């Protein structure tokens, strides 16, 4: 007799959204996750950028590929460049440059926080890129700006992954992110936004996306988004690599044989032998 088990199967697990949001994130930089768990203070130096931590939170980020906070503040007149330089030169451990700017009335707190978060997430995207060298952490190092808006490491890493996935969905090829850009001409180009048009006008076959972002005073990641959309529309492309230089041919010297020997010599014995050789060949 066949016995049928009528016990209901166990219920499938349901993800707890609150617990998932609070769970430590370690998918981008395990070292950064460990430093966050230690509530460390200092600077993490990676191949493409640096992250400044205070008690386990990221308070500042820098990368050569992203315009810094000073560029975002001064490019469009939000802050005078002289006021920025003065605040940075006067900053110390007690009052950072951010506090000096606020106290002097050069910035409102809301404008500073908005630009700071934009610059932080922008530079962190590049700083947390896959690296071929290990990161180095120096304890106790603080940035001259001072804390503005501390960002949890888990939130920063999740946003970095989200940005990677967004760029991949727009255009999966990463070459437009770093190569000099050239204009192409699509048969049916879509209508461009003002941001995209201003970017397209500056594409000259020499500058890269991040260099254009710095010139325009824009966040580098947002510029990468515009560039990949222009590439997908057929209006921009990475400049092709130049063809390899031809390898110079080395002339081959002929190997001297018996017939290539000098016709004249001062040695009488050799002269006699040559005469005998010529006489034998003439028989």
The burial class, CB within 10 Å (0-12 / 13-18 / 19+), for 21 is exposed
Structure tokens of 70?
A: 């000073």
Q: How far apart are CA 53 and CA 64, in angstroms?
A: 19
pLDDT in tens, 193-225: 999 999 999 999 999 999 999 999 999 999 999
| 223 within 8 A of 193, measured Cβ to Cβ | no
DSSP secondary structure string, 54-105? ETTEEEEEE-TTS--HHHHHHTTTSS-HHHHHHHHHH--SSS-HHHHHHHTT
Handedness of CA 275, 281, 282, 283 (dihedral sign): positive
DSSP code of 204?
-
pLDDT in tens, 230-259: 999 999 999 988 777 777 666 656 555 554
Handedness of CA 124, 126, 131, 134 (dihedral sign): negative
Stated pTM of the model: 0.76
pLDDT band at 186 (very low <50, low <70, confident <90, very high): confident
DSSP code of 9?
P
pLDDT in tens, 61-99: 999 999 999 999 999 888 999 999 999 999 987 889 999
Q: How far apart are CA 154 and CA 150, in angstroms?
A: 12
Q: What are the boundaries of each domain within the chain?
A: 28-169, 171-238
């Amino acid at each position: 007799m066949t016995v049928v088990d009528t016990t209901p199967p166990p219920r499938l697990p349901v993800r707890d959204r609150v617990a998932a949001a609070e769970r430590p994130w370690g998918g981008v930089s395990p070292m950064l996750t460990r430093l966050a768990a230690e509530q460390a203070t200092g600077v993490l130096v990676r191949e493409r950028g640096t992250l400044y931590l205070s008690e386990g939170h990221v308070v500042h980020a820098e990368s050569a590929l992203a315009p810094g906070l000073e560029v975002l503040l001064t490019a469009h007149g939000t802050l005078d460049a002289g006021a920025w330089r003065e605040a940075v030169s006067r900053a110390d451990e007690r009052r950072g440059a951010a506090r000096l700017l606020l106290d002097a009335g050069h910035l409102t707190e809301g404008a500073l926080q908005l630009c700071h978060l934009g610059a932080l997430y922008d530079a962190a995207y590049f700083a947390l890129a896959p690296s071929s060298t290990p990161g180095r952490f120096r304890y106790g190092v603080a940035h001259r700006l001072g804390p503005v808006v501390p960002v949890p490491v888990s939130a920063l890493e999740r946003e970095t992954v989200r940005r990677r996935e967004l760029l991949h969905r727009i255009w999966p090829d990463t070459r437009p992110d770093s190569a000099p850009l050239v204009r192409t001409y699509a048969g049916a180009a879509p209508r461009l936004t003002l941001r995209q048009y201003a970017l397209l006008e500056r594409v000259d076959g020499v500058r890269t996306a991040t260099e254009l972002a710095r010139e325009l005073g824009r966040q580098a990641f947002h510029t990468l988004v515009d560039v990949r959309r222009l590439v997908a529309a057929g209006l921009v492309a990475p400049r092709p690599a130049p063809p390899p230089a031809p390898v110079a041919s080395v002339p081959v010297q002929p190997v001297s044989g018996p017939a290539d020997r000098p016709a004249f010599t001062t040695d009488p014995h050799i002269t006699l032998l040559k005469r005998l050789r010529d006489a034998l060949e003439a028989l």
